[in-house]
Structure 1
Amino acid sequence: MPRYKLTVEYDGFPYVGWQWQDNGRAVQQAMEEAVERFAGERVRLQCAGRTDTGVHALGQVAHLDLADAWRTDTVRDAINAHLKLAGDRVAVVTAEQVGAGFDARHSALKRHYLYRILNRRAPPALGHGRLWHVPRRLDAGAMQAAAQLVLGQHDFTTFRAAECQASSPVRTLDVLDVARSGDEITVRASARSFLHHQVRSLVGSLEQVGCGRWPPAGMRAALDARDRRRCGPLAPAHGLYFVSVDYPPATRESAAK
């Protein structure tokens, strides 16, 4: 049974997140329905990281098994055609045939996220629902200094959702970089895995540093407290993007056409 790796882009605004839910349409639901319409099979897609309601993706990765060996360009184009017919804001960017040992979640070496902040008095006219508008001036330099204080392996209980189901709060944060370009501030985060709401919790706390409510050292103090009550406000979901996933080179067997 051939296995396919799909790289997926989506606008998270209309969806209740990646995973099937009873309270609305999910990205997973949209894709599985599209696959069934084109291939005549009911499948279950496994993804690299389940995103929450409103979170976007530039390079989410999922895998699925099909009974027939379809050309990779056919898999990509047929799924996209049915997604378009259904009015979904989801697209398969690439499709690759991979070995049976590839798993979108468990084979991942590192996951990369981007958070976008529009930092100006005027609200966005074009980016509504795709970034966090913060009208008060933020000091991106102070935010970057604070971000470097929480890199490495730590107990991230402070920056973890109360309902997080991970067995341990310990994670290794490889990258947390803050940069300004004009009116936009971006926060980039990379790690093998993240806790539920970890990136949004970190960004919300960095915003407290940027506006002067916390000194940069306050970020490390919050981390060391291991207390969810010491976290800053949770940054909105609509500013967050799942950018890409790194895998071992051996997992790729054929390039998308």
Structure 2
Amino acid sequence: MRNIKLTIEYDGKRYLGWQRLGDTEKTIQGKIETILAQMTGEKIEIIGSGRTDAGTHARGQVANFKTASTFETEKMLDFLNRYLPRDIVIKQVEEVAERFHARYHATSKTYSYYIWNDVIPTAFHRAYSFHYPKRLDSEKMNEACQLFIGKHDFLGFSSLKKTKKSTVRTIETISIQKEGSLIRFTYVGDGFLYNMIRIMMGTILEIGSGEREIATINQVFKEKIRTQAGETVPAHGLFLDEVSYK
């Protein structure tokens, strides 16, 4: 069996997230598996590097699947992009080692979250950024970001209820770039829990607007209580930019 790696870009606004759901066709995984089955004549299950929520976008999602098909990778690329919806694009198709696993072998992920920080909303960025009209203090937000960097238990900054799996993650960097009213927050880490970035982002915005004290970040790390952190910002401002491997 061949092991095929896909690098995928998608606009998530029409979909219910990455993961295939039994009662709907509106998932990224489901759409790609359907076209792969048509191409190979096999029942195909693709393994994503992680799940993205409903409305979240991706520039560099990675997935892999096993197939007995003899299709050349260039022909796979052409077939997929010809028959997939236009808001899902396969950027690269590669044949990889049999043991490669898109989720288990990922070493880091890079996400971006976009804020439109202006009293007046935007017609062009509305589906890809969160309109936040309140004045933001850049110094306070930078200070908040620094507290998230490092190895921490992020349970209080997630929507997880109870889990036997570790909720410790390491954030390598958080950077902020501003161009006019558009602010881009870039997160790089070894992994992210359910809604973790969106809750961190909500917490940073509340600190930047003066609604929350910066000390609450360490308080949430200590007590691990979700309700002590900020709001969960909308998914449509979030992009999975890149998944890195050894």
TM-score under structure 1 length normalisation:
0.90
Q: 1:88 to 1:165 in 2, by over 3 A?
A: farther
Q: Distance in 1 between matches of 2:198 and 2:206?
A: 13
TM-superposed CA distance for 1:165, in Å, is 4.7
How far does the alpha carbon of each residue in 1:66-123 deviate from its partner, in whole angstroms, 9 at most, with x for none? 212322211111111110xxx4510100111101011000111111111011101111
1:182 equivalent among 169, 180, 183 = 180
Aligned equivalents of 1:56, 1:164: Cα separation in 2: 27
Change (3 A) 1:164 1:241: farther
Q: Within 1, Cα distance between the matches of 2:241 and 2:18?
A: 14
Q: Which amino acid aligns with 2:169?
A: R
Report the counterpart of residue 114 of structure 1 in structure 2. Answer: 112
C-alpha distance in 2 between matches for 1:42 and 1:88: 23
CA contact (8 A) 2:33 2:46 kept: yes
Report the identity percentage.
33
Deviations 1:38-93 (A, max 9, x none): 2222200000011011110000000011212322211111111110xxx4510100
- CA separation of 1:214/1:89 partners in 2, compared to 1, >3 Å: closer, same or farther? same
Q: Map 1:20-31; keep pairs closer than 5 Å.
A: 20-21=20-21, 22-23=23-24, 25-31=26-32
- Residue number in structure 2 paired with 1:191: 189
Q: Distance in 1 between matches of 2:164 and 2:33?
A: 26
Question: Does the 8 Å contact 2:216/2:229 carry over to 1?
Answer: no
C-alpha contact 2:48 2:61 (8 A) present in aligned 1: yes
* Residue correspondence of structure 1 range 100-249 to structure 2 within 5 A: 100-163=98-161, 165=163, 167-248=165-246
Question: Which amino acid counterpart does residue 231 of structure 2 have in structure 1?
Answer: P
Going from structure 1 to structure 2, the CA distance change for 1:95 and 1:233 (only over 3 Å counts) comes to same
Match of 1:97 in 2: 95
Distance 1:140 1:20, change over 3 A: same
> In the aligned structure 2, how far is the partner of 1:163 from the partner of 1:34?
35
Residue 42 (structure 2) aligns with = 41
Partner AA of 1:183 in structure 2: S
AA matched with 2:58: A
When normalised by structure 2's length, the TM-score is 0.94
User: Distance in 2 between the 1:235 and 1:167 partners?
Assistant: 25
Shift of 1:164: 6.6
Whole-angstrom CA distance in 2 between matches of 1:103 and 1:36: 20
SS for the counterpart of 2:191 is coil
Deviations 1:194-253 (A, max 9, x none): 1111111100100101111123333333333321111101011010001111111xxxxx
Q: RMSD of aligned C-alpha atoms?
A: 1.6
Give me the whole-angstrom Cα distance separating, in 1, the residues matched to 2:29 and 2:164: 21
Q: Which residue of 2 is the match for residue 74 of structure 1?
A: 75
- Report the secondary structure of 1:161's partner residue: coil
What number of residue pairs does the alignment pair up? 245
Does the CA-based 8 Å contact 1:140-1:185 persist in structure 2?
no
CA–CA separation in structure 1 for the residues paired with 2:208 and 2:227: 19
| Higher mean displacement: 203-212 or 37-46 | 37-46
DSSP 3-state at the match of 1:101: coil
